[in-house]
Structure 1
Amino acid sequence: MTTSQVNAVVCDPASVISAIESRFSCRAFSPDKPVLREQVDEILRIASCAASSTNTQPWKVYVLQGERRDALVAKVCAAHDATRVNSSLTAEYGEVDGYYPAEWVSPYIDRRRHNGLTLYGHLGIGKGEKDKMHAQAQRNYRFFDAPVGLMFTIDRVMGRGSLIDYGMFLQTLMLAARALGLHTCPQAAWNNCAKIVMPFIDAGSNEMLVCGMALGYADETADVNTYRTPREAVESFTRWI
């Protein structure tokens, strides 16, 4: 840590807090409002300041824009459509490494269900409306129309602690995006198509897909962007010893 970092004063704490509190999973972006490479580079530079155990910095980032972004979208959307016809294909496309637990338990399954039900309710998608559900799920694979798609990988040799480091990197990246007026949506959905994504981005066989992310300017007219998830009260997850 340099002297300037030690002595640095956060002159506008409200802006820091605002960046944190205004971050949300944006599900509708303005496709015609481009994000410059210089902006992406700056966001990644700031994100690289994130803490990591023994400074291992385990993150690897792949940026997709333009034709390459569109090509991946087309490829994965076609696979997503195919799995609807033949569910056995899901195993052929997805990553072996599990993102979610093998067995869900309370309270996590309750929060997950609540999130899905309230989001779909907000979108006017009722129970059993499979066409609408499929279309909404596929919005993930279109990066919610964001002009920039990010894929994050990690070397398989790294331990679970490195995934904690990765979480700090991703959060720092999302807050840096907010500081520059952009929004993001971290996406675990891409892990379901990891076997398509990884060769497409020319990732090494030693790498594992962590998640994807949409990056761009939020569509301020989209009703879905008014949806907010609840947060647990501090006293529900904190014990003073």
Structure 2
Amino acid sequence: MSTPSQVSTRIEDPGSVDDAIASRFSARAFLPRPVPRETIEGILEVARRSPSGTNTQPWRVYVLQGASREALVAQVCAAHDAIYADPSLAQEYPEDWDYYPRQWVSPYLDRRRENGWGLYGLLGIARGEKDKMHAQHQRNFRFFDAPVGLMFTIDRVLGRGSLMDYGMFLQNIMVAARARGLHTCPQAAWNGFSRIVLPHIGAGPDEMLVCGMSLGWADETAPVNHFHTPREPVASFTRWLD
């Protein structure tokens, strides 16, 4: 089978590519409908063409379904509940790398708050309802009921540039999933439980958890899936230099 020419291939329907990108969002409710292995493999086949500095290809992917998925969910949810009961236990689960800043400033803090309270408001969770907030946060560790959980690791020896490469790989997965009618939710929430995740998936000591991801068929009737985050207009983040 011949390989299509990258330089001469023409995109006959650019609107479909745009739609796949624009319709991507973080789905937080999925149907129990299974995703065939060949579909997942097809998504990864496309995503592996992501660019990376000097073609290092820093990604390693672990696909969890069935019993392996359920076992991880049970372990991490138990740890999450234990921390809620005794916050001092959180120190036993340090993150390997800082995804978020140590100190929030505007406009990022404002956007974060808008996102959080917009989501909780849609779900009917008021300020101070800690039990409800905990339960909603734990939905992350149930993969939002998606039948497929993905875990992504990277070799600890690699630098920050490889994390940028990784972001492009993750985006390709999410866009390729949309092209197949699927939805995703990338999840940094798993990073705090890497000491549970990494042994469970069989990762070696040289590997660091980058993030997790839920993959499946979005529940279109779930109110939470009607929450869509705003985006800044192009003019607000672009400077044209002539």
Q: What TM-score bracket applies, with the shorter chain setting the length? A: over 0.9
1:18 aligned residue: 19
Shift of 1:96: 3.3
Shift of 1:3: 7.1
- Opposite residue 173 of structure 2, the aligned amino acid is L
Shift of 1:93: 2.2
1:167 aligned residue: 167
1:103 aligned residue: 103
2:30 aligned residue: 29
1:7 aligned residue: 8
Q: Residues 173-215 of structure 1, C-alpha deviation per residue, up to 9 Å, x if partnerless?
A: 1000001110000001001111111111111111111000000
Shift of 1:97: 2.0
1:157 aligned residue: 157
| In structure 1, C-alpha distance between the alignment counterparts of 2:104 and 2:23, rounded to whole Å | 29
1:212 aligned residue: 212
Q: Residues 126-157 of structure 1, C-alpha deviation per residue, up to 9 Å, x if partnerless?
A: 00111110110000000000000000010111
1:134 aligned residue: 134
Larger CA deviation: 101-110 vs 147-156: 101-110
Q: How many percent of aligned residue pairs carry the same amino acid? A: 68
Distance 1:3 1:187, change over 3 A: closer
| In structure 1, C-alpha distance between the alignment counterparts of 2:233 and 2:181, rounded to whole Å | 28
Shift of 1:94: 3.3
Shift of 1:90: 1.2
SS of 1:157 mapped into structure 2: coil
TM-score (structure 1 length as normaliser): 0.97
2:114 aligned residue: 114
| In structure 1, C-alpha distance between the alignment counterparts of 2:113 and 2:217, rounded to whole Å | 28
Q: List gaps (5 residues or longer) in structure 2.
A: none
Q: Do 2:154 and 2:208's aligned partners in 1 also have CA atoms closer than 8 Å?
A: yes
| In structure 2, C-alpha distance between the alignment counterparts of 1:119 and 1:132, rounded to whole Å | 12
Q: Residues 146-172 of structure 1, C-alpha deviation per residue, up to 9 Å, x if partnerless?
A: 000000010111110001100000000
1:59 aligned residue: 59
- Opposite residue 30 of structure 2, the aligned amino acid is F
TM-score (structure 2 length as normaliser): 0.97
| In structure 1, C-alpha distance between the alignment counterparts of 2:13 and 2:97, rounded to whole Å | 42
| In structure 2, C-alpha distance between the alignment counterparts of 1:183 and 1:132, rounded to whole Å | 25
Shift of 1:101: 1.2
Q: Residues 25-50 of structure 1, C-alpha deviation per residue, up to 9 Å, x if partnerless?
A: 0000002x000111111111110011
2:180 aligned residue: 180
Q: Do 2:96 and 2:208's aligned partners in 1 also have CA atoms closer than 8 Å?
A: no
1:50 aligned residue: 50
Distance 1:84 1:3, change over 3 A: closer
Distance 1:3 1:183, change over 3 A: closer
SS of 2:103 mapped into structure 1: coil
Q: List gaps (5 residues or longer) in structure 1.
A: none
| In structure 1, C-alpha distance between the alignment counterparts of 2:214 and 2:93, rounded to whole Å | 20
Q: Residues 80-102 of structure 1, C-alpha deviation per residue, up to 9 Å, x if partnerless?
A: 00000111111212323222111
| In structure 1, C-alpha distance between the alignment counterparts of 2:16 and 2:91, rounded to whole Å | 44
